[in-house]
Amino acid sequence: MSSLILSFLSLLLLFSPSLSLDLQIQHVNRRLPSSPLDSALFLARSDSSRLSLLTASTKNVPLASGQQILNTPSYVVRASIGSPPQSLLLSLDTSSDAAWVPCSPCNTCPSSTLFQPSTSTSYSSLQCASSYCPFFTGASCADPATATSTPCSYTQPFGDSTFTATLASETLKLGSDVIQNYPFGCVNSFTGSTANLPKQGLLGLGRGPLSLLSQTGSLYNGVFSYCLPSYKSYYFSGSLRLGRLGQPAGIRYTPLLSNPHRPSLYYVNLTGISVGKVNVAVPLNSFNFDAMTGQGTVVDSGTVITRFTSLVYAALRDEFRRQVNAPNGYSSLGAFDTCFSTNDVVQTPPVTFHMTGLDLTLPVENTLIHSSATPLACLAMAEAPGNVNQVVNVIANLQQQNLRVVIDVAQSRVGFGRENCN
């Protein structure tokens, strides 16, 4: 891209006793361009694949942007698997349930850092007869006579790739919490592009039966929160907080909506969008929730920039442009179609997402993406790619940065509050 493109504001069990756990988060992408706008465009290349996927003491566990470490458009947490423990940086994914890690041997995995099952005394391959196996394979054992002797193997699409894995159980350690017999996919091969895949594995924080919350039961009581630092953060300054204790008091919540056809996703009831003091005029029923078609609005940690269906985004963009009134007009840059010179515009209106019981007014740094080399800024939202998503609006991780997002599955609600975790 041209020099105008720049980087972003340069992603029953046995437990140790714990009621709440706080993990640090970092975004990992070692090869990102050097300026804010370039980074946004670079990371958002994976959004199309991501959107197709979408159609009690307190301890700290590190969470960081994948930008600086693993060259991946996701946020990662420090974890360890096995006995003795093997350290991995697992990508945080609120729209997936099952955990998986690349295992040795693997010649097609996206990283040379692989889990070594042969050196772990707590590793156990699960058989087809395991109660977990149908969740991964989608079917019962082909031959019941060999169900107790045949490993549970499965193939799963992920983004632009597909992987083959063996279902296993292992000891998972998050901070000081030890979770024994945790089921996960031990991946031995990938096909397709692995450029935007989690490099060292994935920790599923969805709301389905195989997610961390479901598997840990009373340990975390169905509650977690996270604060995502900006992509330019080099440190594990963000955090994943597991458990009810230590969650912020006084923040506002909106109800979670349940979709039995897409049980992993965190749907919320988005009722409107305003730019400044103007409610954006969208077609009737634009924000309706429909479990059958998947229509609605999802809060997601893995999508990079917030995407709206075409008519909603067009209305938002047009109202934003009208109020900004850039003297020299607007240009497009990659996914962004509302870029303007900051020499011409001193101030821009705030954007607010209206949800049931909650109005989330975005900080300016979550609304605009700036160039660090030229006086250029872009509205940091875009239209959902029509070839992969025509019904789902996604509140993505750029718009969630430096917010504490609390997911309370037990009480079916999600909350947002300001928190600086850069």
Q: Over the stretch 379-417, which tens digit does the pLDDT of each residue have? A: 999 999 876 768 999 999 999 999 999 999 999 999 999
Query: What does the pLDDT look like over 294-346, one tens digit per residue?
Result: 999 999 999 999 999 999 999 999 999 999 999 999 999 989 999 999 999 98
Catalytic one of 22, 38, 47, 93: 93
What's the chain look like in SS3?
CCCCCCCCCCCCCCECCCCEEEEEEEEECCCCCCCHHHHHHHHHHHHHHHHHHHCCCCCCCEEEEHHHCCCCCEEEEEEEECCCCEEEEEEEECCCCCEEEEECCCCCCCCCCCECHHHCCCCEECECCCCCHHHHHCCCCCCHHHCCCCECEEEEEECCEEEEEEEEEEEEEECCEEEEEEEEEEEEEEEECCCCCCCCCEEECCCCCCCHHHHHHHHCCCEEEEEECCCCCCCCCEEEEEECCCCCCCCEEEEEECCCCCCCCEEECEEEEEECCEECCCCCCCCCCECCCCEEEEECCCCCCEEECHHHHHHHHHHHHHHHCCCCCCEEECCEEEEEECCCCCCCCCEEEEECCEEEECCHHHHEEECCCCCEEEECEEECCCCCCCCEEEECHHHHECEEEEEECCCCEEEEEECCCC
Which pLDDT band, with edges at 50, 70 and 90, does 12 fall under?
very low
Does residue 47 carry a catalytic annotation? no
Q: Round to whole Å and give the CA distance between 419 and 422.
A: 9
Catalytic one of 22, 47, 177, 300: 300
Query: What does the pLDDT look like over 243-299, one tens digit per residue?
Result: 999 999 989 999 999 999 999 999 999 999 999 999 999 999 999 999 999 999 999
Does residue 337 carry a catalytic annotation? no
Q: Is the pLDDT of residue 32 over 60?
A: no
The lowest-confidence range among 34-38, 60-64, 288-292 is 34-38
Q: Is the pLDDT of residue 87 over 50?
A: yes
Q: Across the chain, which distance is largest between two alpha carbons, in Å?
A: 75
